[in-house]
């Protein structure tokens, strides 16, 4: 194993020992000429950001910078098992946003599927919980989900499995599911702070040592023990980092290649150099209709933008308020009937025949959001301008 700490400086002039040059083109040549078939891929949240799922640590856009609305003691508490035991609600509020079913894999996910299809993938190590590699078609047994995922779920006390369809319904409703056997809290098999990593991770930890190429993408390599995986690759085995920033001491070995920038551009460059660009684009195109986390879904959900999601939420709230108003009108009608006074619904209908009193015309041009402005002023401002308004 190489000594990562000996140099943290990228020396572009250092002559590589295996590659012709420290370029992506030289990596492609190495793969094709040496018929490289044991590629390990190691990824993090950065391969999913272009799908619309924020990473943790990017300033401003990362999840940790945007959790104020959950009123947590600190952002990491949302993934802390002790905090979850006390208050699971913030996790389930966030889960509604990041759970599978809403996001399409990125072309970087499809690149991993392409490596698999070509018989060149030894193992895919992911820190992500979003299941997007499964959705891109990478078989579950090729993936080590080092931090777990939304693919399965169980009771945190008696460990009984919980049905996937009920979990999906609970997440969609923002509700906290409880165990059908002991009434304990149920949580997806995502590894929280304070929990052990899956045994699969430890069972597969020696695979990087057998690899003949390592590709690291979209990770800050700050979370251990995952962050040490690239160090297990043998000296002389090329390691490629495709990331916005340099991380984890990659670049310090003579055959390390840094491709700094976004993952999608990086994998397109690599695919082009390999002559696989068209196949990659075709594979990615095939992911256009999302399915649920490796499971079969009867109907594909169209992808929704943030504005569409907001509009849907507003419509749901409007329906809820309308239903509540309907119930109270019905109640008022019954009370008035019992007291022998005018009936509310009838008076309302009669008034509407007079244009001066026509409440519909007075709302002309308003959206459902505007009508709710007195109830949810923040939502009204949000949808009109397409972004939340600061107080
Ligand atoms: P991180 O610490 O947030 O780092 C992300 C890294 O990716 C940073 O170095 C960014 O600069 C880089 N990056 C962001 N966007 C791009 C992009 N488009 N192209 C290239 N690079 C990019 O995330 P890590 O994965 O390193 O941290 C491990 C945590 C994150 C794990 O515990 C995960 O469970 C957790 N996480 C997962 C998801 C997900 O499943 N999609 C989302 C957010 C966090």
CATH number at 169 reads: 3.30.1600.10
Helices 277-285, 263-274: axis angle to 10 degrees equals: 130
- 182 plus 153 within the same structural domain: yes
pLDDT at residue number 265? 98
∠ at Cα 219 (130, 287), nearest 5°? 40
- 256 plus 203 within the same structural domain: yes
- Nearby residues of 22 by Cβ (< 8 Å), 6 or more positions away: 12, 14, 16, 254, 255, 256, 257, 258
Q: Is the pLDDT of residue 146 over 80?
A: yes
Under the phi-then-psi rule, with left for phi > 0, alpha for psi from -120 to 50, and beta for the rest, what region is 32? Answer: alpha
Among 210-219, 243-252, 264-273, 362-371, whose mean pLDDT is lowest? Answer: 362-371
Residue from 124, 147, 178, 374 carrying the catalytic annotation:
147
Q: Is 147 a residue of the active site?
A: yes
The residue ranking higher by pLDDT, 310 or 105, is: 105
Look at residue 250 and tell me if it is in a domain. Answer: yes
Q: Is the pLDDT of residue 315 over 60?
A: yes
- 214 plus 186 within the same structural domain: no
Residue 26 CA, distance from chain mean position = 33
Q: Is the pLDDT of residue 246 over 70?
A: yes
| CA 292/CA 106 separation, integer angstroms | 15
Say how many Å lie between the CA of residue 43 and the centre of ligand 1. Answer: 8
66 in a labelled binding site: no
As given in the structure block, the two tokens for residue 128 are 């992500």
- 222 plus 280 within the same structural domain: yes
Tell me which of 56, 62, 222 to substitute to probe ligand 1's pocket, judged by most ligand atoms within 8 Å of the beta carbon: 56
As given in the structure block, the two tokens for residue 27 are 């990596």
Residue 78 · residue 90 · CB < 8 Å:
yes
pLDDT at residue number 313? 58
> Ligand 1, atom 41: nearest CA belongs to which residue?
45
226 in a labelled binding site: no
User: What is the mean pLDDT of the segment spanning 227-252?
Assistant: 97
Say how many Å lie between the CA of residue 112 and the centre of ligand 1. Answer: 17
Say how many Å lie between the CA of residue 375 and the centre of ligand 1. Answer: 37
pLDDT at residue number 139? 97
Summarised one tens digit per residue, pLDDT across range 319-352 is 656 655 665 666 667 666 766 655 443 333 233 3
- 94 plus 119 within the same structural domain: no
- 249 plus 203 within the same structural domain: yes
User: What is the mean pLDDT of the segment spanning 171-198?
Assistant: 94
At 228, is the pLDDT very low, low, confident or very high (cuts 50, 70, 90)?
Answer: very high
- Nearby residues of 145 by Cβ (< 8 Å), 6 or more positions away: 126, 128, 129, 151, 198, 200
Burial label, 213 (beta-carbon count in 10 A; 0-12, 13-18, 19+): buried
Look at residue 391 and tell me if it is in a domain. Answer: no
> Ligand 1, atom 23: nearest CA belongs to which residue?
45
* DSSP 8-state symbol, 185: B
> Ligand 1, atom 19: nearest CA belongs to which residue?
262
Look at residue 265 and tell me if it is in a domain. Answer: yes
Q: Is the pLDDT of residue 2 over 50?
A: no
> Ligand 1, atom 11: nearest CA belongs to which residue?
244
User: What is the mean pLDDT of the segment spanning 125-135?
Assistant: 95
- 261 plus 174 within the same structural domain: no
* Cβ atoms within 10 Å of 31's Cβ, excluding its own: 22
At 199, is the pLDDT very low, low, confident or very high (cuts 50, 70, 90)?
Answer: very high
- Enumerate residues lining ligand 1, CB below 6 A: 44-46, 48-50, 53, 55-58, 62-63, 127-130, 147, 218-220, 222-223, 243-245, 247, 262-263
> Ligand 1, atom 9: nearest CA belongs to which residue?
220
The number of domains in the chain is: 3
195 in a labelled binding site: no
Look at residue 60 and tell me if it is in a domain. Answer: yes
- 174 plus 275 within the same structural domain: no
56 in a labelled binding site: yes
Say how many Å lie between the CA of residue 337 and the centre of ligand 1. Answer: 62
- 256 plus 278 within the same structural domain: yes
User: What is the mean pLDDT of the segment spanning 216-229?
Assistant: 96
CATH number at 41 reads: 3.40.50.1220
Which atom of ligand 1 lies closest to the CA of 55?
A: 43
Among 196-200, 244-248, 323-327, whose mean pLDDT is lowest? Answer: 323-327
26 in a labelled binding site: no
Q: Is the pLDDT of residue 30 over 70?
A: yes
Q: Is the pLDDT of residue 61 over 90?
A: no
| CA 287/CA 320 separation, integer angstroms | 35
Q: Quick one: which of 132, 133, 129 has its CA closest to 113?
A: 133
As given in the structure block, the two tokens for residue 369 are 């959001």
| CA 91/CA 85 separation, integer angstroms | 11
- 170 plus 98 within the same structural domain: yes
Among 6-15, 17-26, 49-58, 238-247, whose mean pLDDT is lowest? Answer: 6-15
**Mean residue pLDDT across the chain:** 79
The residue ranking higher by pLDDT, 370 or 162, is: 162
pLDDT at residue number 43? 98
User: What is the mean pLDDT of the segment spanning 147-163?
Assistant: 95
* Domain boundaries, position 154: 55-102+148-190
| CA 390/CA 307 separation, integer angstroms | 17
Say how many Å lie between the CA of residue 22 and the centre of ligand 1. Answer: 25
- 208 plus 356 within the same structural domain: no
- 81 plus 181 within the same structural domain: yes
Say how many Å lie between the CA of residue 147 and the centre of ligand 1. Answer: 12
pLDDT at residue number 40? 98
288 in a labelled binding site: no
Q: Is the pLDDT of residue 236 over 80?
A: yes
């Amino acid at each position: 194993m190489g000594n990562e700490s000996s140099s943290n400086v990228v020396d572009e002039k250092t002559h590589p020992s295996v590659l012709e040059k420290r370029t992506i083109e030289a990596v492609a040549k190495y793969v094709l000429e040496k018929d490289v078939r044991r590629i390990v891929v190691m990824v993090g949240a950065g391969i999913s950001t272009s799908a619309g799922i924020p990473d943790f640590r990017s300033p401003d856009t990362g999840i940790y910078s945007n959790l104020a609305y959950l009123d947590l003691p600190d952002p990491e508490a949302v993934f802390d098992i002790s905090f979850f035991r006390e208050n699971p609600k913030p996790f389930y509020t966030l889960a509604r946003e990041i759970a599978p079913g809403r996001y399409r894999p990125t072309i970087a996910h499809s690149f991993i599927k392409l490596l698999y299809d070509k018989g060149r993938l030894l193992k895919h190590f992911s820190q992500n919980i979003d299941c997007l590699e499964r959705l891109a078609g990478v078989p579950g047994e090729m993936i080590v989900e080092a931090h777990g995922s939304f693919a399965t779920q169980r009771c945190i006390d008696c460990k009984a499995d919980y049905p996937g369809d009920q979990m999906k319904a609970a997440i969609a409703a923002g509700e906290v599911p409880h165990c059908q056997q002991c009434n304990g809290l149920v949580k997806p098999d995502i590894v929280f702070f304070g929990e052990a990593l899956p045994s699969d991770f430890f069972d597969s930890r020696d695979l990087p040592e057998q690899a003949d190429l390592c590709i690291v993408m979209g990770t800050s390599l700050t979370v251990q023990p995952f962050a040490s995986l690239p160090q297990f690759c043998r000296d002389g085995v090329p390691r490629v980092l495709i990331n916005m920033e340099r991380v984890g001491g990659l670049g310090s070995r003579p055959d390390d290649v840094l491709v700094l920038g976004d993952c999608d551009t990086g994998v397109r460059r690599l695919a082009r150099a390999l002559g696989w660009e068209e196949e990659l684009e075709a594979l990615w195109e095939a992911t256009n209709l999302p399915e649920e986390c490796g499971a079969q879904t009867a109907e594909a959900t169209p992808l929704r933008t943030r504005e569409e999601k907001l509009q849907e939420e507003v419509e749901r709230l409007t329906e809820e308020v309308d239903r509540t108003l309907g119930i109270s009108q019905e109640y008022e009608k019954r009370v008035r009937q019992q007291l022998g006074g005018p009936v509310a619904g009838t008076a309302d209908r009669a008034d509407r025949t007079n244009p001066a009193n026509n409440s519909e015309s007075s709302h002309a041009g308003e959206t459902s959001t505007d009508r709710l402005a007195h109830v949810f002023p923040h939502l009204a401002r949000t949808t009109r301008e397409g972004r939340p308004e600061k107080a």
